[in-house]
Amino acid sequence: MNLQQRIKTLSELKTDLYKKDFLLTWEKNESDLRAILQIASLLKLIREQNISPRLFDSGLAVSIFRDNSTRTRFSYASAANMLGLEVQDMDETKSQIAHGETVRETANMISFLTDFIGIRDDMYLGEGNKYMREVAAALDDGYENGVLSTRPGIINLQCDMDHPTQSMADLLHLKKYFGSLDELKGKKIAMTWAYSPSYGKPLSVPQGIIALLTRFGMNVELAHPEAYDLIPEIVDLAGKNAELSGGSFKVSNSMEEAVADADIVYPKSWAPFHIMQERTEFLKNKDKKHLADLELEALKENYNFRSWEYDAEKMKTTKNGNALYMHCLPADISGVSCENGEVSAEVFEKFRIETYKEASYKPYIIAAMMLANNFEKPAETIEKIIKGSSKRVW
């Protein structure tokens, strides 16, 4: 489709994104999700045609990263800058939080001339998404009482439950790779645990994938060693989504079984649900001794499953022996970034460029979330951008 056809398709979608935070994909209806994908695709085309999509003359996009990040941090900055906003990173170590400043107060103080707040808080199970909602409530209070002239939109840049900018970028990658969302129906994706020599990786990526892709008629198989469960409610949600979409959802304890005849494989390490529960309590209590003991226990348990590596032999059993490999990056690559890891160097190198393409959609997904939050009629807004046809590079 050309630009005008894409805009027409977008205009026909009835959405509920305007002035709404984007915290969990399962809080959004299918039209909302399709609209984000379409806006992201349009913004990508606009940039490729050297048209400037700067919709803001000024304003801040504040980022709060409570965990390390490369792709998401730079994607958020790129998205904000593309739309004309300046990014200000909130370094909590340089704030008054250590002196007892409340979430309610901090949220308002950083928002006087702010249009968006992006938050990554994935370290504490049961706390990350809760914190985002606490910030949201504080912004509502500030706006309703005239403290804030506008209420900034919040974008979840990863929490303990979901990583919506990642899963939506993954979905856009699949849409582009296979041709359309309809082409994804009936495709099998193996979302499988894989070995990593590290500890405490969040559950949000696999949870985000199973909760989102089951909504589009895909056959999703979740595989992990017996002790490596995800949040039960989200696993249940994936099953219900599959029933409604005409797809399927299966849980197994075998990587070999999961990847067999798969169209797509997503080998990714995560910490067991029960370990993350314990870890959260120790972190809250600043219990360094028990944290150290827990880490040793978790690494020892991981070591028992070194065979959970996606390699050329396992790839041979996938659809046509060539299933699309996906990863949120950085992957633990055997013999490259670690001795034993999630994926063999041979397989990763074969799909390395595809994983980079997968990651490249994230800035556009975040920009689409921003645009849909701030402009009630995204299709008309994009049409005005094109008609204005201001060049990005002169």
pTM of this structure: 0.96
pLDDT tens for each residue of 173-182: 999 999 999 9
Residues 199 and 302 sit within 8 Å (Cβ to Cβ): yes
Higher local confidence (pLDDT), 22 or 389: 22
Report which DSSP code applies to 152: -
Given this model, what pLDDT does residue 91 score? 84
pLDDT tens for each residue of 187-205: 999 999 999 998 879 999 9
* pLDDT band for position 43 (cuts 50, 70, 90): very high
Residues 351 and 380 sit within 8 Å (Cβ to Cβ): no
Domains located in the chain, CATH noted: 3-162+362-388 (3.40.50.1370), 166-359 (3.40.50.1370)
Cα–Cα nearest to 194, from 162, 228, 221: 228
The structure tokens listed for 308 are 């959970």
Contacts of 236 (CB under 8 A, 6+ apart): none
Q: Identify the H or E element spanning 292.
A: helix 288-303
Given this model, what pLDDT does residue 308 score? 98
The structure tokens listed for 98 are 């250590």
pLDDT tens for each residue of 19-32: 999 999 999 999 99
Give the C-alpha distances (Å, rounded to integers) separating 176 from 117, 160, 355: 29, 28, 13
Residues 302 and 228 sit within 8 Å (Cβ to Cβ): no
Q: How far apart are CA 255 and CA 323, in angstroms?
A: 14
The structure tokens listed for 175 are 């849409």
Classify residue 201 by burial, with Cβ atoms within 10 Å: 0-12, 13-18, 19+. middle
Residue 343 pLDDT > 90, yes or no? yes
For range 266-273, the mean pLDDT: 95
The structure tokens listed for 37 are 């994908």
